[in-house]
């Protein structure tokens, strides 16, 4: 079974958590499978709140209404992928650059179901370069502060987020205390969002594998 088939397996298993209403929908290739699967039961939901322009486009192409979070109120369910997860379901996200909206929708949702292939489960977060969304004028200032924290920030040149900001990908971090590092990086002036999701981790992690979908809580 290839990696994409494992992603599809996890995405299809997440359908079991859909109970109608408005669904929070994330971004990425695993979520694309979830959107395609959601289209099959679109009559059972009111619509979706989307975390990116890319997901919005895909949802609309399937005829799934895309709603504004300001109009829906809090959501019962958010389904999204991740770049890494540890066993406590603390995540690194933002490889696709949509981390700020993803963190907002996660915060506004009662249950966060994360979907991934099994390669995303790690012992210690940080082998995947940590994305940090930054206000453009603060890029160098934030980069220096990240070096102080022991990382090697690399500007994702040519990439602009849906919010008009920049991304620094921080290499060489071994994240032993994800909650503390999330708070520290959030406190740097000019940081919009750090891609550590530890203060609000996932509630459920579904991992696709050759042995079938495995669920961690
Ligand atoms: C988003 O998509 C992320 O925050 C993460 O960066 C990425 C996961 O991508 P994929 O599902 O393509 O592996 O959810």
- Please check whether residue 168 is in contact with residue 97, taking contact to mean a CB–CB distance below 8 angstroms: no
Length of the chain as a residue count: 217
Mean pLDDT, residues 146-170 taken together? 96
Minimum-distance ligand 1 atom for the alpha carbon of 115:
11
pLDDT tens, position by position, 51-60: 988 999 999 9
Residue 1: per-residue pLDDT? 82
- For residues 106 and 40, give the distance between their C-alpha atoms in angstroms, rounded to a whole number: 24
Q: What is the ipTM of this complex?
A: 0.95
Mean pLDDT, residues 24-42 taken together? 96
- Is the pLDDT confidence value at 83 over 90? yes
Residues framing ligand 1 (Cβ under 6 A): 26-31, 80-83, 93-96, 99, 102
3-state secondary structure of 153: strand
Q: How far is CA 51 from CA 14, 48, 99, in A?
A: 17, 10, 8
State the average pLDDT for the chain.
96
Question: What are the tokens at 84?
Answer: 């890494």
Q: pLDDT-based confidence at 162, cuts 50/70/90?
A: confident
Ligand 1: residue whose CA is nearest its atom 6 = 95
Mean pLDDT, residues 151-177 taken together? 95
Mean pLDDT, residues 131-153 taken together? 97
- For residues 175 and 168, give the distance between their C-alpha atoms in angstroms, rounded to a whole number: 17
Question: What are the tokens at 159?
Answer: 């990439």
- For residues 127 and 174, give the distance between their C-alpha atoms in angstroms, rounded to a whole number: 7
Mean pLDDT, residues 108-130 taken together? 97
Residue 174: per-residue pLDDT? 82
Residue 175: per-residue pLDDT? 94
Q: How far is CA 207 from CA 3, 51, 113, 203, in A?
A: 11, 21, 11, 13
Q: Is the pTM of this model over 0.90?
A: yes
pLDDT tens, position by position, 173-205: 889 999 999 999 999 999 999 999 999 999 999
- For residues 108 and 92, give the distance between their C-alpha atoms in angstroms, rounded to a whole number: 18
Residue positions annotated with a catalytic role:
102
Helix H or strand E encompassing 11: helix 3-13
Minimum-distance ligand 1 atom for the alpha carbon of 96:
6
CB atoms within 10 A of CB 158: 6
Separation of 180 CA from ligand 1 center, angstroms? 23
């Amino acid at each position: 079974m290839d990696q994409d088939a494992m992603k599809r397996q996890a995405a299809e298993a997440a359908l079991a958590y859909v109970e109608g209403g408005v669904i929070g929908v994330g971004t990425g290739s695993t979520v694309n499978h979830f959107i395609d699967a959601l289209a099959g039961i679109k009559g059972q939901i009111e619509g979706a709140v989307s975390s990116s322009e890319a997901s919005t486009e895909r949802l609309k192409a399937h005829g799934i209404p895309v709603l504004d979070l300001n109009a829906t109120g809090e959501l019962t369910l958010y389904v999204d992928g991740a770049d890494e997860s540890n066993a406590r379901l603390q995540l690194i996200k933002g490889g696709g650059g949509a981390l700020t909206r993803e963190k907002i929708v996660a915060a506004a949702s009662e249950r966060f179901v994360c979907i991934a292939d099994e390669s995303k489960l790690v012992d210690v977060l940080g082998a995947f370069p940590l994305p940090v969304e930054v206000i453009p004028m603060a890029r160098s200032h934030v980069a220096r502060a990240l070096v102080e924290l022991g990382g090697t920030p690399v500007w994702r040149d040519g990439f602009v987020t849906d919010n008009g900001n920049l991304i620094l990908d921080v290499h060489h971090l071994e994240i032993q205390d994800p909650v503390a590092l999330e708070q520290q990086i959030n406190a740097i002036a000019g940081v919009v969002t750090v891609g550590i999701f530890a203060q609000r981790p996932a509630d459920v992690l579904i991992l696709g594998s050759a042995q079938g979908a495995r669920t961690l809580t």
